Chain A
């Protein structure tokens, strides 16, 4: 893969108005641009990130963060780590399930365990815990019942 810097410049020149930040080797993208950027990353002939390997979330004291790891099977490059941030209360991020099918279950899992609401997801339900479970157990402030 060409360097991340180049990818960032390329992204910003092809999609005016989109700003991204490089942080610890990850591309941080604002949640409003994310869906468009995802489509670009998948369809751009230069990168063609056709394989979304992993979607997960991290709970920080001040924010929730969705982390995506992208590979290209065609170009055999990767991983590209993309981070999208949102606040802890509402926690909304656009879903990329329409772009990559592999996000379907993984976004459901991140919703279940961390409470990130993926807007536009076709079937956003709890996947590992039962319906009616009131908490998001992977958050740092979750307290398990004392039994």
Chain B
């Protein structure tokens, strides 16, 4: 057929609904894609299939009562969710946190970051077609950290460990040894992982220059976390806000150059190595002392007497997925008047369409995988 003939052929776009039950949408997420051949011309995310009314339920609960619910926001990183919420309420009520508790919190947050990034890379490889083998490696490492979480909080996933003004309970004996063994062994695992993946030809072909996100769009669209840094913006809330005691630690902020899927993958690997550095420093410096302030302990015993003063607060942290913020409005009663979560993965999805247009449908799956969403947080 000649070129002229080809151009006169009538073509039609095809609409494909991916999800909400789809093996590679990381839960109950749906993408309505319009395809021209295999190329995406339009892609509309549809969500709300896991809208569990977290915000409405929290308005009818004491401040502490919402703590277990925050576990279930981003259910892979319950510790950092606790952290963000505790930080916001402490800011609202003006509570002090003892030194030891700060260190405990940071150890927990960085361990969570390791879990999250490891799992994400496993799932990303799943999306690339390496069905379940990398996930096996990732879950093997996750179990080791989960055992530590279980030893302090009594639960594997939903730790509910933070309290306003400290943490629920001090370490169990042997916990620090466990963390030390993680610090020692995790780099070896990362080396192994990287040896298998980072220079893998298929991974490079599928990830490089796919789903490119420019610096300007990333900032304007409110992207946060590893995704923002992969686009070349050195913005890490741990450095910028220096919340808790992060300014005491020595760590670097890895950034990407291109802003493609590969950069997002690699930034996360580097971030894990930095997290291990923070862990090593924290384990070395952790002081003895109380794990919760007396005021906080009183509030944890009788949640109904815990009444923050009238006002409003926005507290945010660098969660593994990005900026996790809590906006609370207090009217002086034991229940918050308004409770809003700023979920990083929900806002990171804003530009999914921009990243996918012009790419093939198979690349959309990979791009979505690299955004790192957890539906519990997207829909709340």
Contacts and interface: CB of A to CB of B under 8 A. Distances in A.
Note whether A and B contact each other (Cβ less than 8 A).
Answer: yes
A53 B235 contact: no
A56 B221 contact: no
B55 A138 contact: yes
Contact of A76 (B219, B240, B379): B240
Interface stretch (B46-54, B130-138, B363-371): B46-54
A35 to B, nearest CB: 16
Given A50-B219, A54-B327, A58-B329, A127 B47 contact: yes
Given A53-B342, A58-B338, A69-B314, A101 B327 contact: no
Contacts of B47: 127-128
Given A54-B340, A56-B340, A137-B56, A69 B327 contact: yes
A56 B222 CA distance: 14
Interface string A67-79: 1010001001001
A138 B56 contact: yes
Given A81-B314, A101-B220, A106 B347 contact: yes
A24 B351 contact: no
A76 B379 CA distance: 29
A22 interface: no
A129 interface: yes
Q: Is the interface of B mostly helix, strand, loop or mixed?
A: mixed
Given A58-B338, A129-B51, A137-B53, A73 B349 contact: no
A52 B350 CA distance: 13
**Interface residue tally on B, bucketed by range:** 35 or more
B281 to A, nearest CB: 24
A81 B315 CA distance: 12
Contact of B325 (A51, A53, A59): A53
Contacts of A54: 314, 325, 327, 340, 342
A67 B222 contact: no
Contact of B220 (A26, A53, A100, A128): A100
Contacts of A127: 47-48
A40 interface: no
B290 to A, nearest CB: 31
B312 interface: yes
Interface of B: 47-48, 51, 53, 55-56, 217, 219-224, 233, 235, 240, 311-312, 314, 316, 323, 325, 327, 329, 337-338, 340, 342, 346-347, 349-351, 379-380
21 contacts: A24-B311, A26-B312, A50-B220, A53-B224, A54-B314, A54-B342, A56-B327, A56-B342, A59-B338, A73-B219, A81-B314, A100-B220, A100-B222, A101-B217, A102-B221, A102-B222, A104-B350, A105-B347, A128-B379, A129-B48, A137-B56
Interface of A: 24, 26, 50-54, 56, 58-59, 67, 69, 73, 76, 79, 81, 100-106, 109, 113, 126-130, 137-138
